[in-house]
Amino acid sequence: MEKKKWYSSIPHPVVMLFGILVLITLLSHFIPAGAYDRIEVDGRQMVEPGSYHQIDPTPLSFLDMFRAIPGGFSSAILIIFVVLSSGIMFGVLEKTGMIENAVGTFVKKMGFERRMLLVVIMTYLFGALGVFVGYENNIAMIPIAAIASLALGGDLMLAAGIAVGGVTVGFGLSPVNPYTVGTGHTLAEMPMFSGWLLRSVLCFVALSALAYVNVSYFRKILKNPEKSLSIGLETKGFQLSKPLDTYGMTAKDWLMLIIFVGGLVVMLYGVFTHGWYLTEISAMFIIISIVAALAARMSGTEIGETVLSSVAVVAPGAFMVGLATSIKVAMEMGNISDTIAFNLAETLRDLPTYASAVSMSLAQCGINFLIPSGSGQALATLPIMIPLGDVLGLTRQTTILAFQIGDGVTNLFNPTLGGLIAMLAMCRISFDRWLRFIMPIVGVILIVSWLFLLFSVSIDWGPF
């Protein structure tokens, strides 16, 4: 009898998320409700250390479990609309032919025989986008990797490994991540983005490991196409429609590219200068879509049909974002998140220094599934973990690195992270297929990260 593969038991993503929601509902009847007091710092709510206390039980009823679902969609509406608006923008640009021509020309110029090198380069490029641009800000860039991957002879899973994996690793381990490292340094009263060299090396090593896995997977499916994890997925709109040597950029393509890049430049300027976030990002995607459609002289009927067909493509991903967020809403309704965080912190108190550093990272891994927001998790846990690290003999820099590893690496397989689900949707990759691809490399990156963490303990990594 053939041995059953571990991934054959992975349920459908909708079933998986609903199962987690049921589990949270049951746990709310057994885990005491509790809360930390919050204080406002620079307009944001931060946990007050030592203020945890139990409150009146708030177990979720059968109806509450289902109320959490529309509550999740309401809470995630901004991310949901980013998915829809970026899908519309990509649909319009794809309709003009610009993206296909640009990718086809790029691959032709670089040379098809260098496709393994192109996979490595693209992995680092998307990693750099994660490091310097952010996370949800990159959702609209994901389909470009899908077209490039198929043009090189790969599949949609390779595209996800390049783009979704690259952005997630780059963002999660970024030495200049404002949400995790920046917030952590602010709370610890440390120089902003200090310790960037060690974090940069860790990020580069993790991206290198991901690039190796991407190339290995590419070689495997080229040799044995039946081993592809994307068999049966729809590739319409992502495939090149003519021979590679016939591609070139027309004046119209250059105009579309200028509109697209110009819009992204304006968006990034607003993000970094004026504090724009998801609402403004979505608005820019819509503006780019309208300007591109008008410049391409699309008729009103063409625009309308393109918008609706584009929404239809990304709608399943948008649904998954809302369903994933319902888990966070259920946790808040049951008031058990703070109780779990408090008890995880308490288990670290009697551990040796080296073990406490890795265990602190593991604790953050678990908490990340409850609080998938990097800055939200930092504000909820670091006011507890930083003083605890001081007691355990860990430098504050090491405590923040433990937090960053726990938050950043588990983002690769966190079903409650809306941005991850949204990006996978842009590649048309379901979460269960993604787990089959990404889990082995997650283990490697975690081990490498913990070795860096232990090294930071051994050198009393500072400045303090």
Say what the pLDDT of residue 145 is.
94
Residue 7 has pLDDT above 60, yes or no: no
Say what the pLDDT of residue 380 is.
80
Say what the pLDDT of residue 44 is.
66
Q: Where are the alpha helices (DSSP H) in 33-114?
A: 62-75, 77-96, 98-110
Say what the pLDDT of residue 8 is.
60
**pLDDT digits 0-9 by tens, 102-138:** 989 988 888 888 999 999 999 999 999 999 888 887 8
Mean pLDDT along residues 412-430? 91
Say what the pLDDT of residue 404 is.
96
Residue 34 to residues 31, 344, 376, 406, Cα–Cα distance (Å): 9, 14, 17, 23
The burial class, CB within 10 Å (0-12 / 13-18 / 19+), for 241 is exposed
Q: Are 429 and 155 in contact (CB under 8 A)?
A: no
Mean pLDDT along residues 263-270? 89
How far apart (Å, rounded) are the C-alpha atoms in residues 11 and 22?
A: 15
Kindly state the percentage of the chain with pLDDT values over 70: 97
Can you name the residues that pair with 457 across neighbouring β-strands?
A: none
Categorize the per-residue pLDDT at 65 as very low, low, confident or very high, splitting at 50, 70 and 90: very high
Q: The pTM is what?
A: 0.83
**pLDDT digits 0-9 by tens, 219-263:** 999 999 999 999 999 998 888 888 888 999 999 999 999 999 999
Residue 264 has pLDDT above 60, yes or no: yes
Residue 1 has pLDDT above 50, yes or no: no
